[in-house]
């Protein structure tokens, strides 16, 4: 990938310490972006920022609980104070949680919705006017195959990601007249540290890929870099007329 594609732009990435998010940060930096890395875990944000600095780009680490409006306001203010602008917003913050509906704890539902959906609303509510004023911007939200393909025990997660799809479409309509595009990337099961622990070694990971319906050979979990490549595609020059859509990266396990 050319280092000139996004040269000099500023990208704010939420949940920056996560597997998909940190890969996206690295790809954005390699494409020329300076980074505002936002994570509830300050040490994780600092690690990501240090990696960006190694790549020769500027980075600011911001710790914030994005389910809180006041924390979101502070985080966006810090990013704009550091760079004076936000050109790209990648909402990669997210948590899981497994429980059948009949036994689903209310606290788990509220936590998943607060982080996976409400936080993205709060961040976009704050960033959108800034992009509107500049009459340009790229917003990419990381949704999930789970928004389309149901599995037992994933009610809160699937509902949050399905809600994100609907929210993104509305955001695309409202941002379009200002030169802002809004799109989603929907990963299949991705080989993040969390899924690596959950599915165990190569045999367990291959079994999950096969069970989820991956059709490429050999069946395997998605690499975070593959999701990051999709993020870059939706942010790079040439994507100006792609908005309100979802790019599926899942090895053919869901074909809309």
Tokens of 122: 């709060």
Whole-model pTM: value is: 0.94
Nearest CA among 94, 208, 245 for reference residue 159: 94
Flag whether 92 is in a domain: yes
How far apart are the C-alpha atoms of 173 and 163, rounded to whole Å? 16
Find out whether 64 and 75 touch, Cβ atoms under 8 Å.
yes
What is the mean pLDDT for each group of 10 consecutive residues in the chain (256 residues)? 77 96 98 98 97 97 97 98 98 91 94 96 98 98 94 92 98 98 96 81 88 92 97 97 98 94
Flag whether 208 is in a domain: no
Active-site residue list: 157
Flag whether 213 is in a domain: no
Q: Dump the DSSP string for 15-38.
A: TTTSHHHHHHHHHHHHTT-EEEEE
Flag whether 212 is in a domain: no
Residues 6+ positions from 133 with CB-CB distance below 8 Å: none
Flag whether 211 is in a domain: no
pLDDT at 1: 37
Flag whether 47 is in a domain: yes
Find out whether 192 and 19 touch, Cβ atoms under 8 Å.
yes
Please give the radius of gyration of the chain, using alpha carbons only, rounded to the nearest integer: 17
Domain range for 174 = 10-187+222-249
Tokens of 100: 């059948």
Count of domains in the chain? 1
* Residue 202: exposure state from Cβ atoms within 10 A (0-12, 13-18, ≥19): exposed
pLDDT at 181: 98
Nearest CA among 60, 103, 54 for reference residue 84: 60
CATH code, 72:
3.40.50.720
């Amino acid at each position: 990938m050319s280092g000139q594609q996004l040269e000099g732009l500023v990208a704010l990435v939420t949940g920056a310490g996560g597997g998909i998010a940190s890969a996206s940060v690295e790809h954005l930096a390699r494409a020329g972006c300076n980074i505002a890395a936002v994570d509830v875990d300050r040490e994780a944000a600092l690690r990501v920022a240090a990696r960006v600095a190694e790549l020769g780009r500027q980075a600011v680490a911001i710790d914030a609980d994005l389910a809180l409006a006041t924390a979101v306001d502070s985080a966006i203010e810090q990013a704009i104070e550091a760079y004076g602008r936000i050109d790209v917003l990648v909402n990669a913050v997210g948590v899981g949680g497994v429980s059948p509906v009949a036994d689903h704890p209310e606290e788990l539902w509220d936590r998943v919705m607060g982080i996976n959906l409400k936080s993205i609303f709060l961040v976009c509510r704050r960033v959108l006017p800034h992009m509107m004023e500049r009459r340009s911007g790229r917003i990419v939200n990381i949704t999930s195959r789970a928004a389309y393909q149901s599995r037992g025990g994933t009610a809160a997660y699937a509902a949050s990601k399905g809600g994100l799809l609907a929210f993104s479409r509305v955001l695309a309509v409202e941002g379009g007249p200002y030169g802002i595009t809004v799109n989603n990337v929907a990963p299949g099961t991705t080989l993040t540290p969390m899924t690596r622990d959950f599915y165990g070694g190569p045999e367990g990971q291959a079994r999950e890929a096969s069970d989820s319906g991956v059709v490429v050979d050999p069946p395997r979990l998605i690499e975070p870099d593959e999701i990051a490549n999709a993020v870059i595609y939706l942010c790079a020059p040439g994507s100006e007329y792609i908005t309100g859509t979802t790019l599926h990266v899942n090895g053919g396990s869901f074909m809309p």
